[in-house]
Amino acid sequence: MDQIFAFDDRLLNAAAAAEKAAEEQFAEIGRIAQHGTAKVLRAFQKYRVSAACFAGANGYGYDDVGRDTLDKVWADVFHTEDALVRHHFVSGTHALSTALFGVLRTGDTLISVTGAPYDTLEEVIGIRGSGSGSLADFGIQYKQLDLTAEGRPDYDAIPQAVRGARVVYLQRSRGYSLRPALTVPDIRRIVTLTRQTNPEAVIMVDNCYGEFVEYDEPTDAGADLIIGSLIKNPGGGIAETGGYIAGRAKLVEQCAYRLTCVGMGKEVGCSLNQCRAMYLGLFMAPEVVANARKTGVFAAELFRQLGFECLPEAGSTAGDIITVLMLRTPEAMEAFCAGIQAGSPVDSYVTPEAWDMPGYESKVIMAAGTFTGGASIELSADGPMRAPYAVYLQGGLTYSSGKLGILTAAQRMLDTGRL
C-alpha cells in the first residue's frame, strides 16, 4: 500500500492477508468478467452499434434507433427474445412493479417462492401500506412460499405451491436478508420444479444485483422475464438512471404497454441524451461488476481477519454483488458507514445517519458518496438498524478505490474503539 492514506499497521497486515486469501476468488471473478465482456462485445458488433445510436431522439421517439438497437443488444446479451431498456424507469422497483402490473390480471395469483420479496415491493403487492393502487387492490392474489430455516428455497414444496399461479416470482439477490443469493443453478432447479406442475407460469426474476456475477443469467436457466436497475450492475456505473425488463417477446410487450400505453408500447418514449451512457455502461458493466465483487471479497476476507462473521460464506458461489458484515452493534454499523462515506470520492465530508426511508420498514443507515444519486454499483454500505446489525456492502467502480474505502471504514472502527 502506498503512504498517501495512513492506515494502522494492524489493518495493513490484515489487508495483505486478506488479498492473499482472495487470490483464487479474484482469478475466477476475472474469468467471469472476460466471459461477460465477450457477450457484450459480440452483441455490439452483431447489431452494428454506431455513433448514430448515441445521438438520442426527442419528442414521441418514433424510430428511435439508439433505443431500439439497445433493446436488441440487451436481448442478445441476456439471451432473450426482447428487452425494454429505458431511462423512463425511475428505479428497479418501478421496473419490477411495471412487470408485475404488466403481466398479472384480476383474478390471477402471484407466488413468491423465495420468501418475502424486497422491502419496497411489499407496498406494490399490497401486503404493507394502505393497499390503494396495489396489486391486491386490483384483485391479484399473493402467496408466498417461505424459505427454509437455512434460508434456502423450499424445493420440495415448489411443485405443489405453484399450482395455478400466473406468476412465479424469484428474487436472485439476498436483498436485506441473511439468506444466500440464488445462483443460476438454483434458479434452474426452481424452473424445472415449477414446470412439473405449472408449465404455463410466467417465471419472473428480480435480477437486481445479479447481472454479470455468474457466467450465465437466469434467462439461460429458463426464466421468462428478468428485471433490474441501471444504477446497479448493468449500467456499469455510467448509466444515469433507468431500468430494464428482458425476456419473452409477448411478455415484454405487455410490460411496455404498462410503461407507456396499450397499443404504443415500445414504439414511443424518446431516448433523449441517455443512449451513450447506457451503451457505455453496458459495455463497462462486466468489468465494473468484477471490481465490485473483488471489493466485496476483499472486505469479507479483511473482516474475517478482524474477527467478524461475513457472508457469503467462504468457498460458496456468489449470486450477487452483496457482502454482509455482521458488525454486531449499532455503534459499529455507524462507525463503518461513516468510514465508507469518508472514503468516498463524492460527499466524503458528510456523516450518514439512520433515517426512515420511504418504502422500508425500519430505519436504514446508508453510506454512499456517489457520482450518481443512490447508485449502489458504486461503493456503498447500508442496512436496517435492527439485530443482528449487519451491514450490506456493495459496489466499487474500481478495485483500488473500493479497497481504500473498506480500509477507511475499518480505520474508523479502530479509531472509535469498535475493533
Ligand X SMILES: *Cc1c(COP(=O)(O)O)cnc(C)c1O
Q: Which residues bind ligand X (CB under 6 A)?
A: 91-93, 118, 120, 171, 173, 175, 206, 208-209, 229
Which residue number, 91 or 344, has a Cβ lying nearer to ligand X? 91
Residue 61 vs 243, nearer CB to ligand X: 243
Q: Note the Cα 250 to chain centre separation in Å.
A: 24
Q: Within 13 Å, how many C-alpha atoms sit on residue 127's CB side?
A: 18
Provide the 3-class DSSP secondary structure of residue 82: strand
Shortest distance, position 263 Cβ to ligand X, whole Å:
28
**Neighbour count for residue 402 (Cβ, 10 Å):** 24
Considering the complex, state which of residue 259 and residue 268 has its C-beta at the smaller distance from ligand X: 259
For ligand X, the closer CB: 94 or 418: 94
143 bridge partner residues: 111
CA pair distance 241, 217, nearest whole angstrom: 22
Closest separation in Å from C-beta 231 to ligand X: 7
Opening angle at CA 172, ends 304 and 111, nearest 5: 135
Half-sphere exposure of 163 (CA within 13 A, CB side): 5
Please name the residue that has the C-alpha cell 458461489.
317
Q: How far is the CB of 53 from ligand X (least distance, A)?
A: 25
Q: Name which of 92 and 269 has its Cβ closer to ligand X.
A: 92
CB of 176 to ligand X, least distance (A): 9
Instruction: Give min distance, CB of 76 to ligand X, in A.
Output: 24
Residue with the shortest CB distance to ligand X: 92
| 256 backbone dihedrals φ, ψ, rounded to 5° | -65, -35
Task: Choose between 170 and 300: whose C-beta lies nearer to ligand X.
Answer: 170
Between 242 and 339, name the residue whose CB sits nearer to ligand X: 242
Helices 275-305, 23-46: axis angle to 10 degrees equals 170
Task: Give bridge partners of residue 171 from the DSSP assignment.
Answer: 206
Give how far Cα 134 sits from Cα of 126, 329, 357, 359, Å. 5, 36, 19, 13
Q: State the minimum distance, in angstroms, from the CB of residue 235 to ligand X.
A: 11
DSSP string, 199-237: TT-EEEEE-TTTTTSSSS-GGGGT-SEEEEETTSGGGTT
- Closer residue to ligand X in complex, CB, 61/236: 236
Min CB(209)–ligand X separation in Å: 5
The secondary structure of 123-190 as a DSSP string is HHHTSSS--TTSTGGGT-EEEE----TTS---GGGHHHHTTT-SEEEEE-S--SSSSPPPPHHHHHHH
Smallest distance, ligand X to C-beta of residue 47, A: 27
